[in-house]
Amino acid sequence: MSTDLGLQSHYPPLIGGKFRAITDASFPAVDAATGEQLATISRGGKAEVDAAVAAAKAAFPAWAATRPEDRAKLLLRVADWLEENAQRLTLIDAHDIGRTVFEIPQDYRSAIGQYRFFAAAILTHDGYNHAVPGGWAIAKREPFGVVGQIIPWNVPAIMASYKLAPALAAGNTVVLKPDENASLSTLELTRQLAEIFPPGVVNVVPGYGDEAGAALTAHPDVRKLAFTGSPQIGRLVAHAGAERLIPVSLELGGKSPNIVFPDIDDIDAVVDNATFASTFCNGQSCLAGTRLFLHDDIYPAFMEKLVKAYESIRIGSPLDPETRLGCLVSEKQGLRVLDYIESGTSQANLATGGSRVKVEGNDHGWFVEPTIFETSNDSRIAQEEIFGPVLSVIRWNDFDTMIEQANDVVYGLASGVYTSNLRNAMRTADRLQAGQVWVNQYVNLLDGSPFGGFKESGLGREVGKDALEMYTQLKSIMFAEQVPPPFYV
């Protein structure tokens, strides 16, 4: 299988332009559905992180001095390579994390768009300048230096692009740690990054969070940290940044409300989009619309169609093009999701789903039926991020009460609204406490549109030009035509 995918038998870290491991420790990458070993990966730790940061620090002055036009050309080469290899990388991710070959190609379209967007955006990104009496004022944007970046396992292609593209475009050097559950496609990309960028500009150290991740966040020569993952780990990363007074950007969890008004024109289309919103990525998405606020007037008809839609989702091998729901990434995640489902059965009405499913030839995989609960907003399953194909449906009939409940979670990453009424759309979007509000199309992500969350969903914005500001700092330079007349004489 590894030969068919073009995988190496072993993946060491990329440090200073060379693939080398300092220690012999490694861990296996296994097929999420079958359990077959795909490769082994170096288990990086403090020694590898120290060497990678040193390489990035040494490469920074020359990279920061590189013209934006030249940095842009290299980012475009990354995009071109991804486009040429998207089909193979899709298969690697399907094996590695259990998502379907039907949906992963969208990850690569998004990732390609990120590298191309920032290749263009950096050409117009600058500070400002203007004349002042007797001189000139300039505010110049400069990169921070070495950036430490940690990404999760659910959408590795997208996560790598969200971190690498803006940081490199802005002139920073990078040490990236991929998640131990989803390293393979990132490490395949790393092989190409080593050919495209000067040595030390991009360094990749795979490993575990409490080893490589902890060493990276604590390193004194890292000048900025960027993390995507759970709020619990996000707090640790933020604390590490605070200890050294360096900037930290965080993209964390979500428990997003998806609101259906009774004036919708096409109930079948809304059912389909709401189903997608809560089950894509096998439900393992921080922005999934996992709380569906459904109005009383259409509740019975909508629920009947929603249950049928959930029950029609085809569960199967991630490699089958007809599969729409693959397996969760690991046994740990499978047990977590089933624990939440068991908790929900004591608090809410189980409308459909709720069980683990066996898929022939994929006995290792944790396939979980898409699950719907009818519940209240204060239940555990409606308040906590499950990270699986589990939807909480909440009835509403009063707008103000619904908005209060929609905002009554610790998160604020994404949200959705379905309505044919402009006033409903505008007043709802205005009052939702979320970084994204999608009206009539959930997960309507566009290249260049800022992405990030309110409250415990994170700090900072990715994807758009705001990300370039997140990876740069301003320096003010004031020019005077001449030395002022004597002051003390």
What are the residue boundaries of the structural domains of the chain, listed by start? Answer: 10-252+457-475, 257-439
Using a 10 angstrom Cβ sphere, with 0-12 exposed, 13-18 middle and 19 or more buried, the burial of residue 400 is exposed
Annotated active-site positions, please? 251, 286
Report whether 277 contacts 444 (CB < 8 A): no
| Distance separating alpha carbons of residues 441 and 258, to the nearest angstrom | 10
Q: Topology of domain 257-439, per CATH?
A: Aldehyde Dehydrogenase; Chain A, domain 2 (3.40.309)
| pLDDT in the model for residue 3 | 44
Helix (H, G, I), strand (E, B) or coil at 61: helix
Q: Per residue in 259-314, pLDDT tens?
A: 999 999 999 999 999 999 999 999 999 999 999 999 999 999 999 999 999 999 99
- DSSP notation for 309-335: HHHTPPB--TT-TT-SB--BS-HHHHH
The confidence score (pLDDT) of residue 2 equals 42
Exposed, middle or buried by CB within 10 Å (0-12, 13-18, 19+), for 154? buried
What local confidence, expressed as pLDDT, does residue 219 receive?
A: 98
SS3 category, 200:
coil
DSSP summary character for residue 154: S
Which residues of the chain fall below pLDDT 70? 1-3
Per-residue pLDDT tens digits for 181-201: 999 999 999 999 999 999 999
As its CATH architecture, domain 10-252+457-475 has: 3-Layer(aba) Sandwich (3.40)
Calculate the average pLDDT of the chain: 96
